Amino acid sequence: MRYDDSPPPPESASSISPDRPWFARRPALAVTLAALAPTCLAGWVLTQVLSGPASGAPQPAAAPLAASSPAAAADAKPNASPSSPAPPAAPSASLAAAPAKGPLTGRTVVLDPGHNTGNFKHGREIDQQVDIGTNRKECDTTGTTTNSGYMEAEFSLDVSHRARALLEAKGAKVVLTHDGERPWGPCIDERARIGNQAAADAVVSVHADGASAGNRGFHVILPARVKGGAADTAKIVGPSRDLGERIASNFARATGSSPANYLGSGTGLVVRDDLGGLNLSTRPKVFIECGNMRDDKDAAQLMSPQWRQKAAQGIADGITGFLGG
């Protein structure tokens, strides 16, 4: 554009077509270029779509694979309403992953928490007689307590919970004969049956004793050789002793407790033939009396959560050793 009224300078001869002046051809040239521009642009876009972005060009952010909300689903599907739920997403691989395995994977352990806190209220039920193979005996007992009222049934269930967690961390399947959910029991014959039906590799019944003050320490009760009625312990006597010896040594190491000073001749091992839970078992099984609730020094340990954790550790370590873990 010019900003004065002077006439334009004359065109040079070399810039003028011999047929028509240059300024007369400009409108036609502009029209031609305007027509070609959209065509060229469309061709370039098509080339980019078909061939992808040039190497080294910045990549656009990837679109989400699935709508994360009903509104997003409606955007992805033009015919869907905003209130329509999005299709369920496939489960992630982390949720479907198998649980971690441990040295006790494939093994089953039954823990039998002695007695039940509700047995005190169900004297008639727990006094009923059941067959233990060699004779008949009461279904269960109330268990004992410390002088301050801490119940053996509370202790045995707490230690069983702690031992279960330790064993499950090693991959074991752990079954409890009861978990405090029952008003009383189970009876001693049912406790044995639970271990048998679970095909348990090891069964441990957790208790605390009620001897007189001054009697201290733990002991493990092993099954005697018994045969009569439904009882036949011939196959479990050997492996049960192995299980009991391992628990006794590990329990002493974990807790710092000594074997009982009032029975077992200082070995911490006692053999009995009058316990239905042992007589009726077809799986390796032992009882452990973790201490004497009627002795104040032992009772102080039994009431300590820290000591109970050590007790559970000793029991779990003994079972683990027995099972080759």
Query: How many other β-carbons are positioned within 10 Å of the β-carbon of residue 89?
Result: 10
Contact present, 67 and 73 (Cβ < 8 Å): yes
**Residue 289 annotated as catalytic:** yes
The interaxial angle of helices 237-255 and 305-322, nearest 10 deg, is 140
Q: Which residues pair with 271 in a beta bridge?
A: 222
Cα 26 to Cα 34: distance, rounded to the nearest angstrom: 12
Determine which one of 152, 154, 245, 289 is catalytic.
289
Closest CA to 209 of 270, 285, 161: 270
Contact present, 258 and 249 (Cβ < 8 Å): no
DSSP string, 34-82: HHHHHHHHHHHHHHHHHH-SPTTSPPPPPPPSS-SSHHHHHHHSTTS-T
Q: Is the peptide bond before 113 cis (omega within 30 degrees of 0)?
A: no
Closest CA to 172 of 113, 112, 100, 248: 100
Reduced to 3 states (helix: H, G, I; strand: E, B; else coil), residue 150 is coil
Residue type, 109: V
How many CA atoms lie within 13 Å of 169's alpha carbon, on the beta-carbon side? Answer: 9
Burial profile 229-263: b = 16 or more Cβ within 10 angstroms, e = fewer: eebebeebbeebbebbbbbbbbbbebbebebbeeb
The residues that are catalytic are 289
